[in-house]
Protein backbone atom coordinates (compact mmCIF):
# COMPACT_ATOMS: atom_id res chain seq x y z
CA UNK A 1 0.00 0.00 0.00
CA UNK A 2 2.77 2.43 0.99
CA UNK A 3 4.95 1.51 -2.00
CA UNK A 4 2.02 1.97 -4.38
CA UNK A 5 1.22 5.34 -2.80
CA UNK A 6 4.80 6.54 -3.30
CA UNK A 7 4.86 5.19 -6.85
CA UNK A 8 1.72 7.15 -7.69
CA UNK A 9 3.36 10.34 -6.47
CA UNK A 10 6.72 9.89 -8.17
CA UNK A 11 5.72 8.21 -11.44
CA UNK A 12 6.32 11.46 -13.35
CA UNK A 13 9.39 12.55 -11.41
CA UNK A 14 12.79 12.28 -13.04
CA UNK A 15 15.95 11.72 -10.99
CA UNK A 16 18.60 13.53 -13.03
CA UNK A 17 22.29 13.52 -12.25
CA UNK A 18 22.18 17.31 -12.44
CA UNK A 19 20.40 17.35 -9.07
CA UNK A 20 23.67 16.12 -7.54
CA UNK A 21 25.71 19.14 -8.56
CA UNK A 22 28.72 20.30 -6.55
CA UNK A 23 26.63 22.96 -4.78
CA UNK A 24 24.73 20.15 -3.01
CA UNK A 25 27.90 18.22 -2.18
CA UNK A 26 28.42 19.84 1.21
CA UNK A 27 24.85 19.25 2.40
CA UNK A 28 24.93 15.64 1.24
CA UNK A 29 28.23 15.08 3.03
CA UNK A 30 26.87 16.70 6.19
CA UNK A 31 23.83 14.45 6.12
CA UNK A 32 25.97 11.37 5.48
CA UNK A 33 28.35 12.27 8.32
CA UNK A 34 25.37 12.76 10.65
CA UNK A 35 24.00 9.32 9.78
CA UNK A 36 27.47 7.75 10.21
CA UNK A 37 27.85 9.52 13.56
CA UNK A 38 24.55 8.10 14.79
CA UNK A 39 25.48 4.65 13.45
CA UNK A 40 28.81 4.84 15.29
CA UNK A 41 27.07 5.75 18.55
CA UNK A 42 24.62 2.88 18.10
CA UNK A 43 27.39 0.36 17.37
CA UNK A 44 29.52 1.44 20.34
CA UNK A 45 26.51 1.07 22.65
CA UNK A 46 25.04 -2.06 21.10
CA UNK A 47 25.45 -4.19 24.24
CA UNK A 48 23.75 -1.62 26.46
CA UNK A 49 20.94 -1.31 23.90
CA UNK A 50 20.44 -5.08 23.87
CA UNK A 51 20.16 -5.04 27.65
CA UNK A 52 17.20 -2.64 27.54
CA UNK A 53 13.73 -4.13 27.85
CA UNK A 54 10.37 -2.68 26.84
CA UNK A 55 7.57 -3.49 29.29
CA UNK A 56 3.83 -3.38 28.67
CA UNK A 57 3.63 0.10 30.20
CA UNK A 58 6.50 1.21 27.96
CA UNK A 59 4.58 -0.11 24.95
CA UNK A 60 1.63 2.02 26.03
CA UNK A 61 3.83 5.14 25.92
CA UNK A 62 5.06 4.22 22.44
CA UNK A 63 1.50 3.68 21.20
CA UNK A 64 0.46 7.02 22.69
CA UNK A 65 3.46 8.60 20.94
CA UNK A 66 2.19 7.28 17.58
CA UNK A 67 -1.28 8.73 18.24
CA UNK A 68 0.08 12.14 19.24
CA UNK A 69 2.44 12.17 16.25
CA UNK A 70 -0.51 11.43 13.95
CA UNK A 71 -2.34 14.40 15.45
CA UNK A 72 0.75 16.54 14.84
CA UNK A 73 0.77 15.62 11.13
CA UNK A 74 -2.88 16.62 10.83
CA UNK A 75 -2.17 19.94 12.56
CA UNK A 76 0.71 20.54 10.15
CA UNK A 77 -1.61 19.86 7.21
CA UNK A 78 -4.11 22.39 8.55
CA UNK A 79 -1.26 24.88 9.06
CA UNK A 80 -0.29 24.47 5.40
CA UNK A 81 -3.88 25.11 4.38
CA UNK A 82 -3.90 28.23 6.54
CA UNK A 83 -0.69 29.34 4.85
CA UNK A 84 -2.40 28.90 1.48
CA UNK A 85 -5.28 31.04 2.73
CA UNK A 86 -2.75 33.66 3.76
CA UNK A 87 -1.53 33.86 0.17
CA UNK A 88 -5.11 34.42 -1.02
CA UNK A 89 -6.20 30.90 -1.92
CA UNK A 90 -9.16 30.78 0.47
CA UNK A 91 -11.83 31.15 -2.20
CA UNK A 92 -10.78 28.05 -4.09
CA UNK A 93 -12.00 24.49 -3.58
CA UNK A 94 -8.56 22.90 -3.24
CA UNK A 95 -7.97 19.62 -1.30
CA UNK A 96 -5.02 21.04 0.67
CA UNK A 97 -5.22 18.48 3.49
CA UNK A 98 -5.28 15.50 1.16
CA UNK A 99 -2.50 16.88 -1.02
CA UNK A 100 -0.32 17.45 2.02
CA UNK A 101 -0.88 14.01 3.55
CA UNK A 102 -0.43 12.13 0.27
CA UNK A 103 2.85 13.89 -0.56
CA UNK A 104 4.29 13.90 2.96
CA UNK A 105 6.05 10.56 2.53
CA UNK A 106 8.10 11.93 -0.36
CA UNK A 107 10.22 13.93 2.11
CA UNK A 108 11.98 10.67 2.98
CA UNK A 109 13.40 10.35 -0.53
CA UNK A 110 17.05 11.53 -0.58
CA UNK A 111 17.29 15.13 -1.72
CA UNK A 112 14.50 16.44 0.49
CA UNK A 113 12.72 18.18 -2.39
CA UNK A 114 10.47 15.58 -3.97
CA UNK A 115 7.43 16.44 -1.84
CA UNK A 116 7.79 20.06 -2.99
CA UNK A 117 7.84 18.93 -6.61
CA UNK A 118 4.64 16.90 -6.33
CA UNK A 119 2.82 19.61 -4.36
CA UNK A 120 3.70 22.17 -7.00
CA UNK A 121 2.35 19.90 -9.73
CA UNK A 122 -0.92 19.35 -7.87
CA UNK A 123 -1.41 22.99 -6.86
CA UNK A 124 -0.77 24.23 -10.40
CA UNK A 125 -3.98 22.46 -11.41
CA UNK A 126 -5.94 24.90 -9.23
CA UNK A 127 -3.97 28.14 -8.76
CA UNK A 128 -1.32 30.24 -10.48
CA UNK A 129 2.34 29.23 -10.51
CA UNK A 130 3.35 32.20 -8.35
CA UNK A 131 0.86 31.30 -5.61
CA UNK A 132 1.83 27.62 -5.83
CA UNK A 133 5.48 28.52 -5.33
CA UNK A 134 4.59 30.73 -2.36
CA UNK A 135 2.56 27.95 -0.70
CA UNK A 136 5.31 25.38 -1.16
CA UNK A 137 8.50 27.33 -0.49
CA UNK A 138 7.26 29.37 2.46
CA UNK A 139 6.11 26.35 4.46
CA UNK A 140 9.55 25.15 5.67
CA UNK A 141 10.51 28.76 6.49
CA UNK A 142 7.45 29.24 8.71
CA UNK A 143 7.97 25.81 10.27
CA UNK A 144 11.57 26.60 11.16
CA UNK A 145 10.68 30.03 12.58
CA UNK A 146 7.86 28.54 14.66
CA UNK A 147 10.09 25.78 16.04
CA UNK A 148 12.82 28.24 17.00
CA UNK A 149 10.26 30.33 18.91
CA UNK A 150 9.93 27.36 21.29
CA UNK A 151 13.65 27.24 22.12
CA UNK A 152 13.41 30.06 24.73
CA UNK A 153 11.19 27.78 26.83
CA UNK A 154 14.46 26.15 27.90
CA UNK A 155 15.78 29.39 29.38
CA UNK A 156 18.45 31.88 28.29
CA UNK A 157 20.94 29.13 27.20
CA UNK A 158 23.92 31.48 26.93
CA UNK A 159 22.05 33.79 24.57
CA UNK A 160 20.82 31.08 22.19
CA UNK A 161 17.20 31.91 22.99
CA UNK A 162 17.66 35.51 21.84
CA UNK A 163 19.03 34.46 18.45
CA UNK A 164 16.21 31.93 18.02
CA UNK A 165 13.62 34.70 18.35
CA UNK A 166 15.18 36.91 15.68
CA UNK A 167 14.13 34.77 12.64
CA UNK A 168 10.46 35.64 13.27
CA UNK A 169 11.29 39.11 11.92
CA UNK A 170 11.80 37.54 8.49
CA UNK A 171 8.03 37.28 8.09
CA UNK A 172 7.53 41.02 8.41
CA UNK A 173 6.40 42.67 5.13
CA UNK A 174 9.71 44.44 4.63
CA UNK A 175 11.84 41.32 4.92
CA UNK A 176 9.71 38.48 3.63
CA UNK A 177 9.81 39.71 0.04
CA UNK A 178 13.61 39.59 0.17
CA UNK A 179 13.62 36.18 1.80
CA UNK A 180 11.04 34.77 -0.59
CA UNK A 181 12.96 36.10 -3.61
CA UNK A 182 16.07 34.35 -2.32
CA UNK A 183 14.21 31.08 -1.73
CA UNK A 184 12.54 31.28 -5.12
CA UNK A 185 15.81 31.93 -6.93
CA UNK A 186 17.64 29.03 -5.26
CA UNK A 187 14.89 26.44 -5.06
CA UNK A 188 13.31 26.94 -8.47
CA UNK A 189 16.64 26.29 -10.19
CA UNK A 190 16.84 23.01 -8.31
CA UNK A 191 13.22 22.20 -9.16
CA UNK A 192 13.87 22.80 -12.86
CA UNK A 193 16.64 20.18 -12.88
CA UNK A 194 13.95 17.69 -11.90
CA UNK A 195 11.18 19.03 -14.14
CA UNK A 196 11.98 21.93 -16.52
CA UNK A 197 8.28 22.68 -16.95
CA UNK A 198 7.34 22.79 -13.28
CA UNK A 199 8.34 26.45 -12.83
CA UNK A 200 8.41 28.84 -15.81
CA UNK A 201 11.53 30.97 -16.05
CA UNK A 202 9.46 34.17 -16.01
CA UNK A 203 7.42 34.02 -12.80
CA UNK A 204 6.93 37.21 -10.88
CA UNK A 205 7.28 37.47 -7.12
CA UNK A 206 3.79 36.96 -5.72
CA UNK A 207 4.47 38.92 -2.54
CA UNK A 208 4.81 42.17 -4.46
CA UNK A 209 1.02 42.04 -4.63
CA UNK A 210 0.34 40.20 -1.38
CA UNK A 211 -1.29 41.35 1.81
CA UNK A 212 0.78 42.99 4.52
CA UNK A 213 -0.57 41.01 7.47
CA UNK A 214 1.75 38.91 9.61
CA UNK A 215 0.84 35.17 9.44
CA UNK A 216 0.06 34.82 13.15
CA UNK A 217 -2.40 31.96 12.66
CA UNK A 218 0.08 29.97 10.58
CA UNK A 219 2.87 30.47 13.12
CA UNK A 220 0.56 29.48 15.98
CA UNK A 221 -0.53 26.29 14.22
CA UNK A 222 3.06 25.40 13.37
CA UNK A 223 4.08 25.92 17.00
CA UNK A 224 1.21 23.67 18.01
CA UNK A 225 2.45 21.11 15.46
CA UNK A 226 5.95 21.16 17.00
CA UNK A 227 4.53 20.79 20.50
CA UNK A 228 2.49 17.74 19.46
CA UNK A 229 5.54 16.38 17.63
CA UNK A 230 7.47 16.88 20.85
CA UNK A 231 4.74 15.14 22.83
CA UNK A 232 5.39 12.04 20.71
CA UNK A 233 9.09 12.38 21.55
CA UNK A 234 8.21 12.85 25.23
CA UNK A 235 6.33 9.55 25.17
CA UNK A 236 9.49 7.87 23.91
CA UNK A 237 11.44 9.53 26.74
CA UNK A 238 8.86 8.17 29.18
CA UNK A 239 9.20 4.68 27.71
CA UNK A 240 12.94 4.68 28.44
CA UNK A 241 12.73 6.58 31.76
CA UNK A 242 14.51 9.71 30.55
CA UNK A 243 11.73 12.28 30.79
CA UNK A 244 12.74 13.34 34.30
CA UNK A 245 16.46 13.42 33.56
CA UNK A 246 16.13 17.08 32.51
CA UNK A 247 13.41 19.68 32.93
CA UNK A 248 10.51 19.73 30.47
CA UNK A 249 11.65 23.14 29.20
CA UNK A 250 15.13 21.80 28.44
CA UNK A 251 13.73 18.85 26.48
CA UNK A 252 11.41 21.12 24.46
CA UNK A 253 14.26 23.50 23.63
CA UNK A 254 16.64 20.67 22.65
CA UNK A 255 13.97 19.00 20.55
CA UNK A 256 12.92 22.21 18.77
CA UNK A 257 16.52 23.12 17.92
CA UNK A 258 17.40 19.61 16.70
CA UNK A 259 14.20 19.35 14.68
CA UNK A 260 14.85 22.73 13.04
CA UNK A 261 18.36 21.80 11.98
CA UNK A 262 17.04 18.49 10.62
CA UNK A 263 14.54 20.48 8.58
CA UNK A 264 16.83 23.15 7.13
CA UNK A 265 19.83 20.99 6.22
CA UNK A 266 19.38 20.17 2.51
CA UNK A 267 19.74 16.60 1.38
CA UNK A 268 18.68 15.02 4.70
CA UNK A 269 15.55 12.97 3.94
CA UNK A 270 13.08 13.73 6.72
CA UNK A 271 15.95 15.09 8.83
CA UNK A 272 17.24 11.53 9.32
CA UNK A 273 20.64 11.58 10.98
CA UNK A 274 20.81 15.33 11.47
CA UNK A 275 18.07 15.47 14.12
CA UNK A 276 19.54 12.54 16.04
CA UNK A 277 23.13 13.80 15.81
CA UNK A 278 22.27 17.31 17.01
CA UNK A 279 20.21 16.04 19.95
CA UNK A 280 22.92 13.57 20.98
CA UNK A 281 25.52 16.34 20.88
CA UNK A 282 23.16 18.61 22.81
CA UNK A 283 22.41 16.24 25.69
CA UNK A 284 24.54 13.13 25.11
CA UNK A 285 27.35 14.16 27.45
CA UNK A 286 24.89 14.48 30.33
CA UNK A 287 22.25 11.82 29.67
CA UNK A 288 22.73 8.07 29.79
CA UNK A 289 23.76 7.19 26.24
CA UNK A 290 22.00 3.84 25.68
CA UNK A 291 18.51 4.97 26.79
CA UNK A 292 18.92 8.21 24.84
CA UNK A 293 19.87 6.33 21.67
CA UNK A 294 16.97 3.94 22.20
CA UNK A 295 14.67 6.94 22.63
CA UNK A 296 15.86 8.49 19.37
CA UNK A 297 15.47 5.23 17.45
CA UNK A 298 12.02 4.76 18.95
CA UNK A 299 11.01 8.31 18.07
CA UNK A 300 12.20 7.86 14.49
CA UNK A 301 9.96 4.80 14.25
CA UNK A 302 7.04 6.65 15.87
CA UNK A 303 7.29 9.72 13.64
CA UNK A 304 7.75 7.68 10.46
CA UNK A 305 4.87 5.31 11.16
CA UNK A 306 2.60 8.29 11.86
CA UNK A 307 3.47 9.77 8.45
CA UNK A 308 2.74 6.42 6.81
CA UNK A 309 -0.58 5.94 8.62
CA UNK A 310 -1.83 9.42 7.69
CA UNK A 311 -0.75 8.99 4.06
CA UNK A 312 -2.64 5.70 3.83
CA UNK A 313 -5.67 7.18 5.61
CA UNK A 314 -5.81 10.09 3.17
CA UNK A 315 -6.11 7.56 0.35
CA UNK A 316 -8.72 5.39 2.05
CA UNK A 317 -10.86 8.19 3.46
CA UNK A 318 -11.30 10.41 0.46
CA UNK A 319 -13.63 12.67 2.45
CA UNK A 320 -10.44 14.39 3.70
CA UNK A 321 -10.54 16.70 0.75
CA UNK A 322 -10.05 20.15 2.23
How is 155-174 classified by DSSP, letter by letter? --GGGHHHHHHGGGGGGSHH
What integer pLDDT is reported at residue 26 of this predicted model?
Answer: 61
Per-residue DSSP letter, 267:
B
CA angle 302, 320, 74 (to 5 degrees): 35
Greatest Cα pair distance, the chain, in angstroms, is 60
What is the predicted pLDDT for the residue at 19?
Answer: 44
Q: Could you report the average pLDDT of every consecutive run of 10 residues in the chain (322 residues)?
A: 55 47 60 79 85 87 96 96 87 85 87 85 87 91 97 94 95 87 82 74 55 88 98 96 93 96 80 88 77 93 94 74 52
CB proximity list for 159: less than 8 A, separation 6 or greater: none
pLDDT for 242: 92
Please give the torsion angle defined by the CA atoms of residues 151, 309, 217 and 255, in that order, rounded to the nearest 10 degrees. 0
- Model pLDDT, residue 22: 45
User: What per-residue confidence (pLDDT) applies to 182?
Assistant: 86
pTM of the model: 0.89
| DSSP reduced 3-state for 231 | helix
**What is the pLDDT, as a whole number, of residue 265?**
82
Given CA atoms 235, 238, 244, 250 in this order, what sign does their dihedral have? Answer: negative
Q: What percent of the chain has pLDDT over 90?
A: 44
pLDDT score, position 74: 96
Amino acid sequence: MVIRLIQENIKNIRFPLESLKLKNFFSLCFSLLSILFVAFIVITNIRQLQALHVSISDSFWILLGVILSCISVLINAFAWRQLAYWVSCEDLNIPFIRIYLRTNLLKYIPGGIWHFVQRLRLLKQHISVSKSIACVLLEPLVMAISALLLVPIGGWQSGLSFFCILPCLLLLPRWREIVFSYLRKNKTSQLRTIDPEIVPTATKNYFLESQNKYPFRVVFLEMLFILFRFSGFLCCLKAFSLADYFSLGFWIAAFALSWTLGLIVPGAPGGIGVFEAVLILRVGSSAIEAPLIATLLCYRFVSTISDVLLAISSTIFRKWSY
